[in-house]
Amino acid sequence: MKIKKLFCLFTTAIVAFSVFAGNVFAYYDGTTPYADAPRTKIGSFTYILKQNVQYGSVKVPYSAAVTDIPNIKKVEIPEKVTYNGTEFLVTDLDLEDYYLSTQKKYSGVEEIVLPETVYNITSFVGFPNLKKMNIPKNTIIGRAEDFIYYDNYLDRYEKLIYTNEGLSRFYDDTFYFLNCPNLILSVDSNNPYYSYNNYMLLSKNGKDFYMNFNRSTDIIIPDGVENIWDAGAFSDSRVHGYGFSHVNSIRLPNTLKILGWGVFHNSKISEITLPDSLKEIYGDEFSYSSLNSVKFGKDTTLIGVRAFKNCKNIKSLTIPEKVKFISSNAFKNCKGLKDVNIMSKNVGIEYAAFKNCTNLKSVTINGVKKIDGDVFANCKKLSKIIINNKKKSPKIELFNSFNKAKKGIKIIVKKKKIAKELKKQLIKSKSGVKNAKIMVGKKVIYKVTAKTL
C-alpha cells in the first residue's frame, strides 16, 4: 500500500514538475539569445511568449510575439492569447524565420490587420501578394525592447539595448517589407514616430525617409528629408528594400545629407542629380542600376563601397572637390566609362575602385593621398593619368594597381621630384605597370618597364 501511495505521489510530482517546467521554458525573458527563444503554437498562429518585457516606458508582464501566421487572404492578428491559463498581450510581429527562402509560404495573404497592442514590427519579408497593412498608433518598425542576439561579425552574443534611435530609423541587421511588391501601408495619424506622405513612410518630423510605397514611375522625395536610411536593403538583385525597383526618375531634395545602403540598387533610373547638401553616399546606392549620367553635389565627401558598381552605361565622371574617399569597388565594372576627372586635392582611392572599367582611357586627379591595390586593374585602354599633386607623390599600396593597363601608359605629374617618388612607388608596390612613361608636361622623365619591375 505504501509503495502504491509513493508511486502516486512520485507520478504527481513528475506531472507537476512537467507543467511547471513547461511554463518556465515556454517563456522568453530576454536573458538568453532571442534566436533560441521557444515557439508555441496557439490556434493558427505561432508565438514567442515573453515575461516582464519593457517596451519604452511601458512594462508588459506577459507579452507575445507572432512568428508565424496562416496563409489566408485576410489575417487578423489577435490582441490577446491565452496559454496555460495565462493571458498574453500580443505586442510583436516578428516573422524573421521566413526570410527569402520561404517567401512563397505567405503567397495567399493579401491583407494583415494589426491590433493597437502591437509595439514592434521587426523582421517582415516575403508577402508577394500582400496589398494592405496598417501601422497602429503605438507601433515602432524596429525593436522597442532589449534583447540578446548573436553577432555574426563579432562571433559572440550581444545584448542590444533599446534607445530612442529605434523611433527614428530602422535597425540595420533586420529586414522590413522586403519582397512585398504590392503593399500599400496605412499609418495611424496618432502614431508619434511616423508620417505618411504621398505613400512614402517618413519619420514624424519628416527628416528621415524609410520606404516608398508609391507606384508612380516618377518620384519626388519630399522637401525636408535629410536622411534616406538603409532599411535592410543590400547588394542582392532579389531584394528591393525601398520600393524603387519600378522607378524611372527621381528628384532628391536640397535638404538631403545621407544616402544609406542600397537605396537605388538595381533600379531603372537613367540619370540622377545629387544635391549640393548631400554629404555621404554609404554604399551600393546605384549598383547594377541603369544610370547613364550622374551629377554629384559639391559638398559630397564620401562615395561608399560599390556605390556605382556595374553601372555599365556611365561614360564620364566628374567627382567634386570635397570628396575625401572613393571607396572600394565604387565604380567597378563600369564598362562604358571612358574618362574620369577627380577634382579633389586630397582624395584616397581604395581597393578596386575602377577595376574592370575596360573602356576607361584617361583619368585626371588633382591631388591623391593613396592608390590602393587593383584600383585600375584590367583597365585595358587606360593610356593617360594626370596626377596634379604639388608636394608628394601618392602612396601606392599593395599591388596590381595598374595591372593590364595599356602598354606605354603616360603618367603626367607636376614636378620632377614627384616623378622620382612616383617611380619608386610603382616599382616598390609591384603595381602592374608595363612600359609606363612618367612625364612632367610633355617631357619623359622616367620609364618604368616590365624589366624594371
Distance CA 126, CA 176 (A): 10
| Residue 58 CB neighbours (<10 A) | 13
Cβ neighbours for 359, distance < 8 A, ≥ 6 positions apart: 335, 336, 337, 338, 381
Is there a domain that residue 141 lies in?
yes
DSSP structure class, residue 346? S
**Residue 17, phi then psi, degrees to nearest 5:** -65, -40
DSSP summary character for residue 142: B
What are the φ/ψ torsions at residue 171 (nearest 5 degrees)? Answer: -75, 145
Task: Give domain status of residue 353, yes or no.
Answer: no
- CA distances for 394 relative to 370, 374, 391, 413, angstroms: 5, 15, 10, 11
Q: Which domain holds residue 102?
A: 1-192
- Give backbone dihedrals phi and psi of 422, rounded to 5 degrees, phi first: -65, -40
User: Taking phi first (over 0 means left), then psi (-120 to 50 degrees means alpha), and beta for anything else, what does residue 56 get?
Assistant: left
Task: From 351, 341, 346, select the one nearest 323 (Cα to Cα).
Answer: 346
pLDDT in the model for residue 391: 87
pLDDT at 404 (0 to 100): 77
Domain total in the chain: 1
Please state, in angstroms and rounded to a whole number, the distance separating the CA atoms of residues 420 and 40.
72
Cα 195 to Cα 442: distance, rounded to the nearest angstrom: 60
Within-domain flag for 277: no
160 is written with which cell numbers?
542590444
Cα(397)–Cα(395) distance, rounded to whole angstroms?
6
The Cα 370–Cα 368 span in angstroms is 6
Which pLDDT score, from 0 to 100, does residue 55 have?
Answer: 79
What pLDDT does residue 17 have?
A: 39
Per-residue pLDDT of the chain (453 residues; tens, 9 = 90+): 444 444 444 444 443 433 344 444 467 766 666 677 889 999 999 999 998 888 777 889 999 999 999 999 999 999 999 999 999 999 999 886 544 444 567 889 999 999 999 998 887 877 889 999 999 999 988 765 555 544 454 555 555 544 444 433 444 445 577 777 888 999 999 999 899 999 998 989 999 888 888 889 999 999 999 998 764 433 333 344 467 878 899 999 999 999 988 888 888 899 999 999 999 998 888 999 999 999 999 999 999 999 999 999 999 999 999 999 999 999 999 999 999 999 998 899 999 999 999 999 999 999 998 888 899 989 999 999 999 998 888 888 766 788 877 778 899 999 999 999 888 888 876 777 777 888 898 898 888 775 555
CA pair distance 51, 146, nearest whole angstrom: 13
Structural domain includes residue 270: no
Q: Within a domain: residue 452? A: no
What span, in angstroms and rounded, lies between the C-alpha atoms of 47 and 40?
A: 5
Give the pLDDT of residue 98: 45
- Is residue 329 situated within a structural domain? no
Distance between start and end Cα atoms, the chain: 97
Joined together, the cell numbers standing for residue 395 give 602612396
Would residue 305 count as lying in a domain?
no
Asked if 297 contacts 320 with a C-beta cutoff of 8 angstroms, the reply is yes
Nine cell digits for residue 446: 622616367
Confirm whether 186 is domain-assigned: yes
The span from the CA of 27 to the CA of 22, in Å, is 9
